[in-house]
Chain A
């Protein structure tokens, strides 16, 4: 189970603003495990770069779109580049793999680069499928979270909470099956 060409191209575009070495590192880390029972993958790519802020922000997504933005005026870019099964692209799926990258931006005089984020993937209930706490402490770092698991429930929400918005960018790739 891996990204198809269309999804990988979309991800490459999403990462375009990063330096070549960061792009290479992120692409090298993409690893969706070995869930070979899945044939028709669906992909959602979220790309968010918040304004520098002292307030903790929250960003929440569901299969219907972005549902919550707290303490951040910057909405994420959400793309659905691939539905390799039949029909139009859709955000409805059972999630089988999630990659989240918390990336600190280049150094700017007078700004810190100690960004943080709690990422939580829920299924209906709601019940937590996976969560992790990511942090970076200096410019141009990448913290990475990967989850892959075979299960049958549909995803309900993907929540990024307690975002310490000190010059960070979050790129998430959620992949699953119909």
Chain B
């Protein structure tokens, strides 16, 4: 279970630091596991630019129906999706990762970083298809370039499946949120 070369290249390109041109975000999208999950049929990565007070929810059972504050809809980008005609996460979401990344500082005319706040925070809620909460987390960063991560690899107990990933309680200075998830193919 891993990103293929195409997906990896696409994801890496999205994670490049616009100031330095370096990735620096090696911690995102790695460690997709191996024996703990079945081979993936599809991986989807999203990037979102949070702003204070905005919310977003991803409904996995409705073919990736993304509910976002309307003013922020265009900022949801699909980085990579491949799954044929199937919607793998409907059957079994085996892996997902949410990463909050503080933007780098802007540079002045002399190339020196301009001091600015990079403190951002949000709440992540994961629900299953019975609408029960299966995971909650606060993700926060305080400095430029920091990354806060929530990562889950493995099935839910029994027959329940992860159905919704919701973002709320956003307090944001310039930052980005990356959501990567994948699952096995259904019948």
The docked-state distance in angstroms from the alpha carbon of A21 to that of B154 is 17
Q: Which residue of A lies closest to B148 (CB)?
A: A149
Q: A34-B25, A34-B27, A132-B135 are in contact. Are A149 and B143 (CB under 8 A)?
A: no
Whether B140 contacts A25 by the Cβ 8 Å rule is no
Whether B36 contacts A141 by the Cβ 8 Å rule is yes
Within 8 A of B (CB), among A124-151: 128-137, 140-151
Q: A149-B138, A151-B140 are in contact. Are A29 and B33 (CB under 8 A)?
A: yes
B68 at interface (Cβ–Cβ under 8 A)?
Answer: no
Residues of chain B with a CB closer than 8 A to A173's CB: none
Q: What is the number of residues of chain B that contact chain A, defined by CB distance less than 8 Å? A: 36
Residues of chain A with a CB closer than 8 A to B61's CB: none
Residues of chain A with a CB closer than 8 A to B19's CB: none
Which residue of B24, B137, B148, B151 is within 8 Å of A131 (Cβ)? B137
Within 8 A of A (CB), among B109-131: 121, 126
Within 8 A of A (CB), among B143-170: 143, 145-158
The docked-state distance in angstroms from the alpha carbon of A128 to that of B157 is 21
Whether A146 contacts B149 by the Cβ 8 Å rule is yes
Residues of chain B with a CB closer than 8 A to A141's CB: 35-36, 154
Q: A141-B35, A142-B33, A150-B140 are in contact. Are A135 and B155 (CB under 8 A)?
A: yes
Whether B156 contacts A135 by the Cβ 8 Å rule is yes
The docked-state distance in angstroms from the alpha carbon of A134 to that of B126 is 13
Q: How many A-B residue pairs have CB under 8 A?
A: 123
Closest-CB distance, A62 to chain B (whole angstroms):
19
Whether A36 contacts B138 by the Cβ 8 Å rule is no
Whether B33 contacts A34 by the Cβ 8 Å rule is no
Pick the most buried of B33, B126, B135, B150: most chain A CB atoms within 10 A of its CB: B135
Which residue of B36, B136, B137, B150 is within 8 Å of A136 (Cβ)? B36
Whether A133 contacts B142 by the Cβ 8 Å rule is no
The docked-state distance in angstroms from the alpha carbon of A133 to that of B145 is 29
Q: Which residues of B approach A to under 8 Å, CB–CB?
A: 24-25, 27, 30-31, 33-36, 100, 121, 126, 134-143, 145-158
The 6 closest A-B CB pairs, nearest first, are A143-B154, A146-B151, A130-B137, A149-B148, A135-B157, A116-B157
